[in-house]
Amino acid sequence: MKNKFKITGMTCAACSRAVERAVKKLDGIDKAEVNLAIEELYVEYDEKKVSEDDIIRAVEKAGYGAYLKNIKEVTLKISGMTCATCAKTIERVLGRSDGILNAEVNFALEKLYVKYDTSKVRLSMIKSIIKKAGYDVVEDLKEKEKGDTKGKNNKSLFNLKIAAIFTLPLLYIAMGHMLNFPIPEIIHHHKNPLNFALVQLILTIPTVYAGRRFYIVGFRNLIKLSPNMDSLIAIGTSAAIIYGLFAIYQIAIGNTEYAKELYFESAATIITLILLGKYLEARAKNRTSEAIEKLINLSPKMATIIKDNMEIEIPTEEVEVEDVVLVRPGERIPVDGVVIEGKTTVDESMLTGESIPQLKEEGSNVFAGSINKNGWIKFRVTKGKEDTVLSQIIRLVEEAQSKKAPIARLADIVSGYFVPVVILISIVSSIAWYIVTKDGVFSLTIFISVLVIACPCALGLATPTAIMVGSGKGAELGVLIKSGEALEMLHKVDVVLLDKTGTITEGRPTVTDIKAYNIEEEKLVSYAASLERLSEHPLGEAVYEFAKDKGIDIYDVVDFKSITGHGVYGKIQEREVLVGNTKLMKEYNIDISGVERYIEEISKLGRTAIIVSIDREVKGVIGIADRVKENSRRAIELIKNMKKKVVMLTGDNYLTAKSIADEVMVDEFIAEVLPQNKADVVKEYQSKNKRVLMVGDGINDAPALAQADVGMAIGSGTDIAIESADVVLMKSDLLDAAYSIELSRKTIKNIKENLFWAFFYNVIGIPVAAGVLVLFGGPRLNPMIAALAMSFSSVSVVLNALRLKGFRPKK
């Protein structure tokens, strides 16, 4: 068997070799070759021994993404949906189609996420299936989306105004006499009953036209045996209107008593109230996607490039890689790049949540959407508009909002059966009451009330709206959650595994201790740093950076020598200087007995000791360690307070690991873990039925991130780690890991509240509408009140989800 797979997450030739090695380890693989340029894996294999899924899993465990070359994923904007049943209908018809691997509809966002096999089905065929089901696909998704939303809201408002203008006088005419309001004699129900009825019919017609969509979609879906919310409204109000026409006929032939049995005002009011509810719901739903809109608006529409020493303003979309862009004070940076001239501070809080402006000078990276504060800079473009960090963030948030969380499945199952069951209940209860009371008007009222009050909208909105707001809030805080599933799983994890280097610690060596003997500390550091400036060792670089930050003098060095594995030698101001470990000192026969105890003390604290000798005499010891990040201890404390077990993983020796573990107070630590064994640690906890959150930042963390129930990457880490993770912490602050777990808990709690009220509303509302209270001497439910309650249920669910916008993490 031969096949081609698309590989994501590769950045260099080493990545392609890693993918090849991972696949070749599988039994049954005859050939595996990666083309890095086109990001493609060609495989020849025995399909009896290994499957496509096995190959994809092997690539993912290596820290990369993979999918069959002929498998595509697209997101389509769907118009014409009015409730959760519509979403379920689209999923069902697509699910029955050959070649569709997965189809998920987000009713709140009106988006379809579909994964399909291009060898079996084309995108045009998918669109055709959707249209045959009674819905439309909006072309040019990104361009039209914003305008469509605005236009849809304006159209909804126009229809609402039309309905309200005609419904208010209709209500006055139909019910004014009950309140002794003055009614013109020409349309008085006693003196001119036929005119009274005809005027109501005339006023009802524009309202029905304003709500025509309910009838067009409702009856079409009913004919196709896929009834939805529109079908309930269409059947209920049509029954009231048809009965009204029958009443007009009776009045015309002399049965004027029927003037008391007109239900035109009920039909018109139901339509008006539902249009009002839909308009309020749409406005509230728009607020749930504000996070995406804010991110999109961060990127300026125009950019100033330098070409032939001239400043040219062009649209940001036309900026190319290698262009030189000029950004003045107060302007937003249009695309990603590297500064080549100038110096400024840049506010990146919109992208990372970090409030302190960052210094940018030659060699610094700048990112689209950030604000240049007080200086001018020129930078060379490294990524086009579609590939910027901002664009990646927008894609991640959109994907998270489009894909369903597991908790949504319950609502999907219920809404799929809901409408047919409601229609059955309305028919049965109406017939039962007619048999008992012989009152056609009463049974009609029951029929309409049940249909109108039972709307699955609240069920359909319960989950996606909360996920939209929750993932959007995460993006505001600098936490990118890639899927609804990850958002749901975060708060359920039992064990949090933390990689040490770059996650708990800074990830780079720093001077932590200085002990000088018969010499000033500054002079000691000055001599050491002068030598280490010429060294390429990370520990030497730490000493030099420390001296540079403190403004300590650096001297010229002669006769410099680097002794691999030992240290450095040189002459400064005609004095012989040695900087290195105990082996270097012994090689040069220098007595270190006076500092051995101090070296032992700092070694127990996880520090690396560098000895400084001047003219063959030890003058001091410099301790170097990977410093713990400022917020790591507080973050671990917060996670432990959430009843999660916190475990630190590191490749360091036991003493260094214990020192860091004691400082940040983790529950456990595992030292001397080889990079390839981190995923095995994850598996070990999973074998004990523990759900695992893995937090890491490096290439060697990628397999563990992919293996964990939730993988969380530090934003400053490698692209491969970020690609493998379910959650990305843009600020590289471990506190955000604690915040994301709390945000997950709050979001799922919000979803459960929404689902509870949606179910509770229908469990209570339908029996009341069916006349249960009447059996005990209570009132019947007026259809107009049922319509108001139905609209309120959807709006209340969305408003409850919007409470998540007020989420404030514990500091």
What are the two backbone dihedrals, phi and then psi, of residue 265, each rounded to the nearest 5 degrees? -65, -30
Region class of 614: left (phi > 0), else alpha (psi between -120 and 50), else beta: beta
The reply to whether 301-384 shares the fold of 2-68 is: no
Q: Which residue has the higher pLDDT, 202 or 177?
A: 202
The per-residue pLDDT for range 499-558, each reduced to its tens digit, is: 887 788 887 788 989 999 989 999 999 999 999 888 877 788 889 989 988 899 999 999
The top-scoring range by mean pLDDT among 283-287, 655-659, 782-786 is 655-659
The answer, yes or no, to whether residue 719 has pLDDT greater than 60, is no
The answer, yes or no, to whether residue 640 has pLDDT greater than 70, is yes
Q: 3-state DSSP call for residue 163?
A: helix
Q: Could you tell me the residue ranges of all domains in the chain?
A: 2-68, 78-139, 145-288, 301-384, 480-504+630-738, 508-628
The top-scoring range by mean pLDDT among 122-136, 271-285, 632-646 is 632-646
Fold of the domain spanning 78-139: Alpha-Beta Plaits (3.30.70)
CATH code given to domain 2-68: 3.30.70.100
304: pLDDT confidence band, cut at 50, 70 and 90?
Answer: very high
Cα–Cα distance, 343 to 335 (Å, whole number): 18
Average the pLDDT over 761-780 and give the result.
83
Is 499 known to be catalytic? yes
Helix or strand holding residue 710 (H, E): strand 710-714
Average the pLDDT over 473-491 and give the result.
83
788: pLDDT confidence band, cut at 50, 70 and 90?
Answer: low
Helix or strand holding residue 450 (H, E): helix 440-453
What is the Cα gyration radius of the chain? 35
The answer, yes or no, to whether residue 302 has pLDDT greater than 60, is yes
Residue-level pLDDT at 612: 94
The per-residue pLDDT for range 193-205, each reduced to its tens digit, is: 899 889 999 999 9
Instruction: Using a pLDDT cut of 90, give the percent of the chain over it.
Output: 21
The per-residue pLDDT for range 584-605, each reduced to its tens digit, is: 999 899 999 888 899 888 887 7
At 489, list the tokens: 């799983």
Cα–Cα distance, 209 to 215 (Å, whole number): 9
Beta bridge partners of residue 593, listed in sequence order:
none
Closest by CA to 495, choosing from 642, 663, 357, 341, is: 642
Q: Which residue has the higher pLDDT, 562 or 324?
A: 324
350: pLDDT confidence band, cut at 50, 70 and 90?
Answer: low
Residue-level pLDDT at 166: 94
Tell me what the pLDDT averaged over the chain comes to: 82
Residue-level pLDDT at 774: 86
The answer, yes or no, to whether residue 72 has pLDDT greater than 80, is no
Residue-level pLDDT at 726: 81
Helices vs. strands in the chain: H and E counts, helices first: 28, 30
Superfamily covering domain 480-504+630-738: HAD superfamily/HAD-like (3.40.50.1000)
Cα–Cα distance, 433 to 69 (Å, whole number): 61
The answer, yes or no, to whether residue 255 has pLDDT greater than 90, is no
Cα–Cα distance, 175 to 173 (Å, whole number): 6
388: pLDDT confidence band, cut at 50, 70 and 90?
Answer: confident
Residue-level pLDDT at 639: 94
CATH code given to domain 301-384: 2.70.150.10
460: pLDDT confidence band, cut at 50, 70 and 90?
Answer: low
Task: Say which CATH architecture domain 508-628 belongs to.
Answer: 3-Layer(aba) Sandwich (3.40)
Which residue among the candidates 323, 499, 697, 726 is catalytic per the annotation? 499
Identify the weakest region by mean pLDDT among 232-246, 673-687, 692-706. 692-706
Q: Which residue has the higher pLDDT, 440 or 491?
A: 491
What CA–CA distances, in Å, run from 381 to 304, 334, 390, 662?
A: 12, 10, 14, 45
User: Residue 284 carries which side chain, given as an amino acid letter?
Assistant: A
Question: CA 213, 202, 788: angle at the middle one, nearest 5?
Answer: 50
Residue-level pLDDT at 271: 84
Q: SS3 sequence, 132-153?
A: HCCCEEECCHHHHHHHHHHHHH
145: pLDDT confidence band, cut at 50, 70 and 90?
Answer: very low
The answer, yes or no, to whether residue 140 has pLDDT greater than 60, is no
pTM of the model: 0.63
The per-residue pLDDT for range 9-58, each reduced to its tens digit, is: 776 566 777 788 889 989 889 888 887 666 788 888 888 888 888 898 88
